[in-house]
Structure formats: C-alpha cells, structure tokens
C-alpha cells in the first residue's frame, strides 16, 4: 500500500498525544520535559509532511526553527532543574508543591 501524507499526519498526531500523555502521567521532571520534546518533534514531523504535501518550503524551514528553539528550551530547562536538584535530591515534581491554593 502507498503511504500518503495522511499517514504522516496521523503518526504526528499519535506522537503528539503520547507526548501529552507523558506530560500528564509522569512525575519526573526530566521525563516530563522529554515528553514535551516528543510533542515538539511530532509537530516537526507534521510540518515536514505538510510542507512536502503542499510543496511549500515554509514547512521544512519551520522545522529548523523549532529544533533551535527546542535546544534553547533544553538549555534553560536543564539549568532550572539543576538548580532545583541542588536543593533536594529527588527529580519528582510532586515534591514541589509549596505554592498552592
């Protein structure tokens, strides 16, 4: 059978939802962040697929920007997490619930 853009979009959607699920279910900050990366990559896949489908370069180009931004997020995110770990050994975000109500 022949793989159309539709399949890619579907895959992208699935990946995105998986990522979201991870965000909702996991309590380890790193893992949560990874799921976000997964979501971003799902979006990238979608971009490429569409760009290819409609024959428009914007789609491909977007991916590069997204990657860069993701990288930047990683940097900042890890920095923040490290500063958290400095104070307590666990990486579980559930320990971070001083602020509430």
CB of 30 closer than 8 Å to CB of 84:
no
For position 94 contacting another protein by CB under 8 A, the verdict is yes
Residues paired with residue 28 on neighbouring β-strands, in sequence order: 92
Residue 36's nearest CA partner among 49, 26, 22 is: 22
Token pair 């180009």 in the structure block, residue: 61
For position 2 contacting another protein by CB under 8 A, the verdict is no
Q: Which positions from 26 through 85 interact with another protein, judged by CB under 8 A?
A: 26-27, 29, 32-33, 36, 39-40, 42-43, 46-47, 50, 53-54, 56, 58-59, 61-62, 65-66, 69, 72-73, 76-77, 79-81, 83-84
């Amino acid at each position: 059978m022949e793989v159309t853009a539709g399949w890619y979009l579907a895959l992208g959607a699935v990946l995105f939802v998986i990522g979201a699920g991870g965000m909702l279910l996991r309590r380890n900050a790193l893992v949560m962040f990874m799921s976000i990366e997964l979501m971003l990559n799902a979006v990238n896949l979608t971009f490429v697929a569409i760009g290819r489908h409609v024959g428009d370069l914007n789609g491909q180009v977007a991916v590069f920007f997204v990657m860069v931004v993701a990288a930047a997020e990683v940097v900042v995110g890890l920095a923040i997490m490290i500063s958290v770990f400095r104070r307590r050994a666990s990486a579980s975000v559930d320990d971070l619930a001083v602020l509430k109500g």
